[in-house]
Structure 1
Amino acid sequence: MSRELTLRIYSAIVMVAVVLAATWFGGFAFRLLAGAIGLFVYYEWASMTKLGERSMRGHAFGWFSMAAIVANMLFGEPDLTVPLFAGLVLTATLPALVGNWSWWQAGGIFYSGLSAVSLAAIRGDDQLGFAAMIFVFAVVWSTDILAYFVGRAIGGPKLAPRISPGKTWSGAIGGTIAGVLGGVAVALSFFQWSGLWVPLVALFLSVAGQIGDLFESFIKRRFGVKDSSHLIPGHGGVMDRVDALVFACFAVFFLAIGFSAVGMGAVDSLGAFLFGL
């Protein structure tokens, strides 16, 4: 076994252990993990898109925004986190409209901030939030693993050759099927069967996760980088590991908001929404 593969395996074991432990404990521990992910993602986004070279003021505002969002998640009023996040994104968008800041600046705050906010919102502080977070993990990880193996075994037409030449339609379809099955298996381990809602949500999250993977590949190709960073030994950067996960969390977040907005029922928690409770 090569040294690089050994390092990759050890890093993966540590990452999985930390993530699952934080998910089990929930509360402050998970919010701390979500906040750290958001901060690391912003660091990598800013490095790849060279935000510091585009506008030092914008870059400083980006770090201020992320610090404010994470600080409020950890120590502030939870109900103010989403309005604070929305306000900071809007504030970063206004200079981009008049050309003083890059749109990549506003995009970085949106992507990084929502990564932290949506993760924390799904986990919450109760047992339902724990089940919801495990459900999302199962969908995303099953999709990712099976897409890789099915794609290599079957091959065939490329999914998005200009963005990610290694991905195939066979892998995407195989991964989606695995994601749905993984999500249903987790849901059934916590609750009784409740119709088609859970597999439909799992399907939606699986597709969203794969779009997130392609989105990060687009960013890296756009700026000519192989990995988002080298923060994780043997794995590259944090964005490389959470690109699918955070897009799946975005999907839950906005789907729940959409259901509430069109009057299809109030969403008491994202966990209850995910399982149709």
Structure 2
Amino acid sequence: MTLLPPGKRFDWANFGVRVLSAVVLVPAVLFAVWTGAWLFLVMIAVAVALLAIEWGGMTAPGAPARVSAAVTAAVLAGVLMAHQGHVHLAWLAAGAGALAAAVIARGVSERPADAALGVVYIGIPCLCLVWLQATHQGPWWTMMLLAITWSADIGAYAVGNALKGPKLWPRISPNKTWSGFAGGLATAMAAGVAVVFFSPFQLNLAAAALVGLLGGLATMGGDLWESVLKRRFGVKDSGDLIPGHGGLLDRVDGLMFAVVVVAVARLVNARGWGH
């Protein structure tokens, strides 16, 4: 009789490191969200530089500094324009920056498409985040975005580790399970409802649950997309900046997708939906 191997226990050590990292990062992010536009802009600018450095190191090993600088400059040009209220020009600047980054990458014998993708991948979420924060009740919308994203990530990790079960997409991300997927969606919906319930939000609870559901789906979609990218470029993590998470790209991959969904929800809400 062959005994089945014991199931993998809940990884309390890694979970603890993740919690400690969050204890440090979360207050800093929330302080920037509520303190003022300029501190929020500085936070985004620092994040753009760090993300671009990781992107250059991951996709352009022959000339990481030049590609990272090109991606940083392109994204920040659009972010600054969006911060000044010139949103349409910001999108044009991001598009032009993607082309410029591709030209620079080609000039140093790196893949132009990967450099351009870096501008698109990092730039679109940043422009959406700047726009979202600047709208009416923008800090509350940003708070809901963060709550949904963090809850989806924590819920998926905790439930998936506790319940295990069938794998979600083993070829791309062998550790993710369907139980974790369901847990992440449930906690994301609960987070969306909780933020609206305990705040002066102009959004009904059913709409908040829907935003939570879509934001949770986007969060896990972004996480899977990052796994695809890392497999393509042959790296385990995008970096080692954050203990328990790897690089900053590993930490905000879900947020980068979710912010687009929440920005669209905010745009639709401005037209009278969800009241």
Question: Structure 2 length normalisation: TM-score?
Answer: 0.80
Structure 2 counterpart of 1:227: 237
Structure 2 counterpart of 1:164: 173
Q: Does 1:133 align with 2:131?
A: no
Q: Does 1:13 align with 2:23?
A: yes
Note the alpha carbon deviations across 1:188-243, whole angstroms, 9 max, x for none: 22236626322222211110010101111122222222221122345421111111
Structure 2 counterpart of 1:178: 187
Matched residue type, 2:122:
S
1:179 Cα offset (Å): 0.5
Q: Does 1:276 align with 2:274?
A: yes
Matched residue type, 1:84:
A
Distance 1:77-1:38 versus aligned 2 partners, 3 A rule: same
1:180 Cα offset (Å): 0.6
Distance 1:125-1:210 versus aligned 2 partners, 3 A rule: same
Matched residue type, 1:202:
G
Structure 1 counterpart of 2:154: 145
| Aligned ranges 1:112-123 → 2 under 5 Å | 112-123=122-133
Higher RCO (C-alpha 8 Å, min separation 6) = 1
Contact 2:226 2:250 (C-alpha < 8 Å) held by counterparts: yes
Structure 1 counterpart of 2:6: none
Distance in 1 (alpha carbons) for counterparts of 2:14 and 2:173: 23
Matched residue type, 2:146:
F
Contact 2:48 2:76 (C-alpha < 8 Å) held by counterparts: no
Contact 1:35 1:73 (C-alpha < 8 Å) held by counterparts: no
Distance in 1 (alpha carbons) for counterparts of 2:164 and 2:121: 32
1:165 Cα offset (Å): 0.5
Contact 1:26 1:130 (C-alpha < 8 Å) held by counterparts: no
Question: Gaps (5+ residues) in structure 1?
Answer: 257-266
Structure 2 counterpart of 1:124: 134
Matched residue type, 1:19:
V
Distance in 1 (alpha carbons) for counterparts of 2:120 and 2:91: 11
| Aligned ranges 1:44-193 → 2 under 5 Å | 44-50=54-60, 52-53=62-63, 61-72=70-81, 76=84, 78-79=86-87, 80-92=89-101, 101-124=111-134, 128-190=137-199, 191=201
Distance in 1 (alpha carbons) for counterparts of 2:228 and 2:21: 25
Pairs aligned (count): 260
Note the alpha carbon deviations across 1:98-119, whole angstroms, 9 max, x for none: x984311111011122232222
Contact 1:151 1:172 (C-alpha < 8 Å) held by counterparts: yes
Percent identity of equivalent pairs = 37
Contact 1:156 1:170 (C-alpha < 8 Å) held by counterparts: yes
Matched residue type, 2:157:
Y
Question: Gaps (5+ residues) in structure 2?
Answer: 1-11
Distance 1:147-1:100 versus aligned 2 partners, 3 A rule: closer
Distance in 2 (alpha carbons) for counterparts of 1:29 and 1:55: 26
